[in-house]
Structure 1
């Protein structure tokens, strides 16, 4: 039997294949004596030819029952198992595959191939730790996290995102377009398709989602495309932060910046911002606009004789009369201490002179008739028209209306309108 094993080894070694293979190869007889080790095997375990493998490798005084070689000698089949060995460099991991060597149907020896999988195991361990770390972050993050496929389906949604919208993961699976505000869908789809097609790898936006209860939230969304080694799209990793509170605060601040605190009307800044838009719209539509410039006469007298509190009340009452006298679509503003403007959109000139101004005068008359106050509301006004065939700026229109208002003030000598 020894001679047959030796001939097998000599034939194997003569081909040069054993040393060309990077894996360790060893041959043991049925008594577990090592007859051969290739160079790679010796580099891993040292030269132990002539020794019993269970003593040389495992340092046991007896045969290893679970060793692949032991199993081979029992049933004549090929067996594979994973082993770890403590070396000078630390713990090493190996995959050992053992197969029988037979002569005339009898097992005379076993050949083992040892593959060093230490690096692979370390990589797997790092990946496993990273996956556990991601899973922990995914499940405990206060920010919504979702994973979408190339069709926009929500493959994974974390608890924070589910709680944000009030849906279960199963309800969210069908896709992000079903929970996105209609006004935001087109832009979202455009950027999403660019991600899938490889035109971009990242995008950030603010969008609106529908909650299950019908409410709307604002969210800050950051999406990153994850691709394979060939650059093909795998999935999107999306972070979603609820910014509804911030948006509401911003809206309040914006409104405060363009709103007169006393009357609730638009202030001068609000007037110019909105009037510029109306001018552009009128020019495109070739429609007219009318600007009324009003001055509350005698405000200084009211302040001096009745007190500033009553002066504020006079301004507030004037604002309320203007609101009752004009349409909701008209732009009503307080642009200065006692000065108001009203921008009328698309009325006919007869309506302005014969209907609208008369209606304003009637409301002022009724207010003053009720009496009971230490003052009457008296206003002077001027009306300027924006003609799209002779376009002008809002500043020019305001200046013209202001001049006409002062002409009216002079004519009536501070009398009621």
Structure 2
């Protein structure tokens, strides 16, 4: 009877121990489940971030093989070129791109640059970043944005600036920009010639106060500025002015006030004609 009691007690202790092990195991399983759920949530956030990027992303190995490509890039490529050479998948080339920066990236450098793809003749801004793996290997991640429209706008702006510069430099009329305070911001060669200066730079350096140095009657400068502030433009404004040598000339000005978004005057710009011949009999 005593032995049966001891056996029963031993069984109860063993069962109690097994219950504790089951509880501990359940806690471990729950912990792993939470870790797995957290990892899934983290991966979902990462994937959403990758797909939200307004551009192309791909990762390649040191052997130039594609290891990952986001959905936008897959759509551009037309398929998922996993394991294929990046230069073939991205640019339809049969050998490493002549502009390739992989060696620099695999040495740990982040490289930013612009390139025109021979595949579609579009311009792209590329940020190449090294990815270091736990096993010591390195991959390259490239984040790419299509900047073709920006490049075309820059080209158009450059052409427009060159066209304007040609008109500005070669016009027979004087062209100027001046501040409301009375300093020239820019003058063309014809403007400098009208006032007896050897070059635009010489006139800009020599005239610090338009009202006092050029106007025979400084109050005419006030009339000029007031009209521009009130009306925004002026046509056929005539005034007598001094040339560099002190001689007097008559000029006619067509000008406008250039304002900022708040309506404040930034500067005046306009055209000047020498009309001294009209006033010879005055």
Task: Sort the TM-score into its range (normalised by shorter chain).
Answer: 0.7 to 0.9
CA contact (8 A) 2:216 2:241 kept: no
Select which of 174, 197, 210 maps to 2:208: 174
Residue 99 of structure 1 aligns to a residue whose secondary structure is strand
Q: Which residue of 2 aligns with 1:125?
A: 155
**Structure 1 residue 209 and structure 2 residue 209: aligned?**
no
SS in 2 for 1:57: helix
* Counterpart in the other structure of 2:138: 108
Count of residues paired in the alignment: 236
Q: Deviations over 1:220-250 (max 9, x none)?
A: 112222334454443322211111123337x
Q: Deviation per CA, 1:346-386, whole angstroms, max 9, x where unpaired?
A: xxxxxxxxxxxxxxxxxxxxxxxxxxxxxxxxxxxxxxxxx
1:135-162 deviations in Å (ceiling 9; x for gaps): 1111110000112134221121111011
Tell me the equivalent position of 1:243. Answer: 275
The question of whether the paired residues in 2 share the 8 Å contact of 1:155 and 1:173 is answered with no
Partner of 2:22: none
User: Contact 1:32/1:53 (CA < 8 Å) preserved in 2?
Assistant: yes
Whether 2:59 is the aligned partner of 1:27: answer: yes
Offset from partner CA, 1:24-53 (integer Å, 9 cap, x none): 111112222122222332344443522211
Match of 1:95 in 2: 125
* Mapping 1:70-81, distance limit 5 Å: 70-73=103-106, 75-81=107-113
Query: Is the counterpart of residue 18 in structure 1 residue 50 in structure 2?
Result: yes
Shift of 1:65: 5.1
Specify whether residues 199 and 157 from structure 1 end up closer, same or farther in structure 2 by C-alpha distance, changes over 3 A only: same
- Contact conserved, 2:179 with 2:266, CA < 8 A, in 1? yes
Unaligned runs of 5+ in 2: 1-38
Equivalence for 2:34: none
In structure 2, C-alpha distance between the alignment counterparts of 1:141 and 1:124, rounded to whole Å? 25
RMSD of aligned Cα (Å): 2.7
Asked if residue 83 in structure 1 is aligned to residue 115 in structure 2, the reply is yes
Show the counterpart of 1:192: 225
Task: Report how far residue 163 of structure 1 moved.
Answer: 0.8
Change (3 A) 1:56 1:13: farther
User: Helix, strand or coil: the match of 1:66?
Assistant: coil
**2:21 counterpart residue number:** none
**Distance change (3 Å), C-alpha of 1:153 and 1:181:** closer
Mapped partners of 1:161, 1:231: distance in 2: 28
- Mark the CA change 1:229 to 1:121 in structure 2 (over 3 Å): closer, same or farther: farther
Change (3 A) 1:181 1:228: closer
133, 147, 166: which one aligns with 2:177: 147
Q: Is the contact made by 1:145 and 1:238 (CA closer than 8 Å) also made in structure 2? A: yes
Change (3 A) 1:87 1:131: same
Q: Which has the larger radius of gyration?
A: 1
On the 8 A contact 1:76/1:107 being kept in 2, the answer is no
Instruction: Name the CA shift for 1:86/1:54 in 2 (closer, same or farther; >3 Å).
Output: closer
Q: Partners in 2 of 1:40 and 1:186 — Cα distance?
A: 65
Secondary structure at the counterpart of residue 106 of structure 1: coil
**Where in structure 1 are there 5+ consecutive unaligned residues?**
1-6, 252-417
The SS at the match of 1:16 is helix
Preserved contact between residue 26 and residue 36 of structure 1 (Cα < 8 Å): yes
1:59–1:187 Cα change, 3 Å: same
Q: Tell me the distance in 2 between the aligned counterparts of 1:106 and 1:193.
A: 73
The answer for the alignment partner of 1:57 in structure 2 is: 90
> What is the TM-score normalised by the length of structure 1?
0.51
| CA distance in 1: counterparts of 2:241 and 2:137, whole angstroms | 71
